[in-house]
Copies of this chain bind each other. A is one copy, B any other.
């Protein structure tokens, strides 16, 4: 049977999501906690909605795990809690406090944390040079050394919304498309901070941070919208775009379709993302 885990983490002290030998990663820590708590015959293997890079945070990340039914039913032990509640509590007791399992539940039929997702939302937080930094927020926002024009940031973002080839903003993987639908991309002020809201059906590698880096070039006045139009029209990764630092970025939401469409969505997404459309 398949289990859905909802979780969050402070990415500061992790070498990203994906398990890597000899490095502390979110996937590595949670899989080790699952192995310890569930004592499975085969090691636990998680599939995640959005693989995040080193230093990137997640307020709302989703993963799934396949598990023998008897392990699930045995999870509460002698407590009167549900298997999901019991498993979440036991995992959190084992995990370090920079990763938190928010909930665990049996997944509906056809659910795939990665391929059933219809969109992901990220937030990127920037503190402009004129603002006074908050030492307690330094791990989750970029202290930008200069001034930024909110309207210019927002115009740059608006220019990139829609379905297009995001190759100029992506680290290319062979055999994978870089065509994505950027459904929302806007900037708003939150107090002295400037926060980018970025939503797409899916993201290719380093895409959000490259989009943010391109906006910062325009918002600081170093580049203009014509420059951005030129960059965006390319079909190769652009060396003109600076990838914004990881620590300003956080995954904030993942959306799934109603239960009846989960399996169809997973088949579609798998096909689209492994066979280039263009």
Contacts and interface: CB of A to CB of B under 8 A. Distances in A.
A114 interface: no
A206 to B, nearest CB: 22
B143 A97 contact: yes
A143 B132 CA distance: 28
A57 interface: yes
A135 B139 CA distance: 12
Contacts of A59: 134, 136
Contacts of A99: 135
Interface in A111-147: 132-136, 138-140, 143
Interface of A: 8-10, 57, 59, 97-100, 102-103, 132-136, 138-140, 143
A15 to B, nearest CB: 16
A132 B89 CA distance: 11
A10 B139 CA distance: 11
Contacts of A139: 136
Contacts of A10: 135-136, 138
List the 3 closest A-B pairs by CB distance, nearest first: A10-B135, A98-B135, A10-B136
B132 A100 contact: yes
B135 A9 contact: yes
Contacts of A57: 135-136
Query: Counting chain B CB atoms within 10 Å of each CB, which of A98, A133, A135 scores highest?
Result: A135
Nearest to A10: B135
Nearest to A132: B102
B134 A8 contact: yes
Contacts of A134: 8, 59, 100
A103 B133 CA distance: 12
A100 B133 contact: yes
14 contacts: A9-B135, A10-B135, A10-B136, A10-B138, A57-B135, A97-B133, A97-B138, A97-B143, A98-B135, A98-B138, A100-B132, A100-B134, A102-B132, A103-B132
